[in-house]
Amino acid sequence: MSDIHTRIEGQIGRITFTRPKALNALSHTMSLALEQALDDWAENDAVKMVLIDAEGDHAFCAGGDIAAMYEAGIKGEFEGPRDFWRDEYRMNAKMFHFPKPVASLMQGFTMGGGVGVGCHGSHRVVGDTTQIAMPETGIGLIPDVGGTLILARAPGRIGEYLGATGGRIGAADAIHAGFADYYIPEAQWPALTAELVETGDWEAIDRAAQPVPDSALAAQQGEIDACFAGDSLSDILTALKSTDTDFTAKALKVLGRVSPLSAGCTIELVHRARLTDDIKKALEQEFRFTYRSMDQGDFLEGVRAQIIDKDRNPTWKHDSIDTVPSLEVTQMLMPLGADALKI
């Protein structure tokens, strides 16, 4: 059985992830199938809109299939993962620029590659189980799949905060931070889906939306902005260490566990993405890091520690979050020349 089901159903193009036991992790094959569906439906008058959902209660899509990438990487076979990223990012850009409404129903874990599918459309729906995150710094990556652009558009300095720490956020915070648009209780999703299939009327989503619960992130906005406004990771650490609060203590503790190089590059990438509205430019910048992540970064060690061996004790290239030279951040994000991402 395929891990993804794409079809025209009634008035809509429908994409369903069917890999619930793997938390609907996005494989290379799934990404290509999703892109093909977008290409097929972009100018098909029989498709009024696109709806993306997933089987299972636990996850919409918990990220990319990084275990497969790790297996290639430890053999020194870097081109396979790089091709996956190239193809995935091209699909992300097509999702972002799709000429028709795209709705996503994001239950449970929606992380990494799942954000690249579910959070670039026009009608992004969350419910009570939703947990959205870009947790890549914990495995030696950066928020990619266009995630740096979403983070750059978040209010104040929430983008730097969520990107560097990889924090999970629920429905209210996801809407506040710009990852989602609508809160609809998940019990109502089957009826909403049936209406969309029958009518293709995307305004049914607006009619079904409920008032957004209070956002904890919004309540923390002042403290986040004060601590994460620096030009570099070093500036942010200085700000966090200058005050002793529950928030700063927790943030420092989390930053002490992630890849220092990834955190430093994430701050820089969010700043760069803030200068553009073009997802293609953000993706091109992200690809500079992911292209180098296996042989020059912490990705393989991060995946080993968190996913493969699960000892939760990675040996990063830098001993401390305080010891990342700005030159290394610059080197990880240098142009790739002939290997640059082309979308």
User: 3-state SS of 65-87?
Assistant: CHHHHHHHHCCCCCHHHHHHHHH
State which H helix or E strand residue 182 sits in. strand 182-183
The contacts of residue 43 (CB under 8 Å, 6+ apart) are 99
Which tokens in the block code for residue 253? 């503790």
Candidates 147, 168, 166; CA nearest to 290 is 147
Mean pLDDT on 140-167: 98
Looking at residue 213, what is its pLDDT?
Answer: 87
The pLDDT of residue 341 is above 60? yes
The neighbouring-strand residues paired with 106 are 126
Query: Residue 169: which residues within 8 A CB-CB, separation 6 or more?
Result: 131, 132, 133, 162, 177, 179, 217
Between CA 64 and CA 178 the distance in angstroms is 21
What band does 1 get if pLDDT is binned at 50, 70 and 90?
Answer: low
Residue ranges making up the domain that contains 152: 1-343
What pLDDT, on a 0 to 100 scale, did the predictor assign at position 68? Answer: 87
What 8-state DSSP symbol labels residue 56? S
| d(C-alpha 306, C-alpha 287), whole Å | 22
Does residue 2 register a pLDDT over 90?
no
Mean pLDDT of 61-87: 94
Span 206-233, mean pLDDT?
A: 96
The pLDDT > 70 percentage for the chain reads 100
Distance, CA of 182 to CA of 142 (rounded, Å):
27
* Contact of 293 with 328, CB cutoff 8 Å: no
Q: What is the pairing mode between strands 123-126 and 182-183?
A: parallel
Reported confidence tier of residue 263, pLDDT bands at 50, 70, 90: very high
Q: For 265-311, write each residue's pLDDT tens digit.
A: 999 999 999 999 999 999 999 999 999 999 999 999 999 999 999 99
* Pair 50, 103: CB distance under 8 Å: yes
Residue 241, CA distances (Å) to 156, 176, 192, 234, 253 in order: 20, 27, 48, 11, 11
pLDDT of res. 65: 84
What pLDDT is attached to residue 22? 94
**What tokens were used for 245?**
């609060």
**pTM (predicted TM-score):** 0.96
The count of structural domains within the chain is 1
For residue 263, what is the domain's CATH number? 3.90.226.10
DSSP H/E element including 17: strand 12-17
Interaxial angle between packed helices 233-241 and 260-273, expressed in degrees from 0 to 180 and rounded to the nearest 10: 110
**Strand order from edge to edge, sheet including 12-17:** 4-9, 12-17, 49-54, 102-106, 123-126, 182-183
Which of 308, 273, 306 has the alpha carbon at shortest distance from 287? 273
The predicted model gives 102-131 an average pLDDT of 98
pLDDT band of 222, cuts 50, 70, 90 = very high
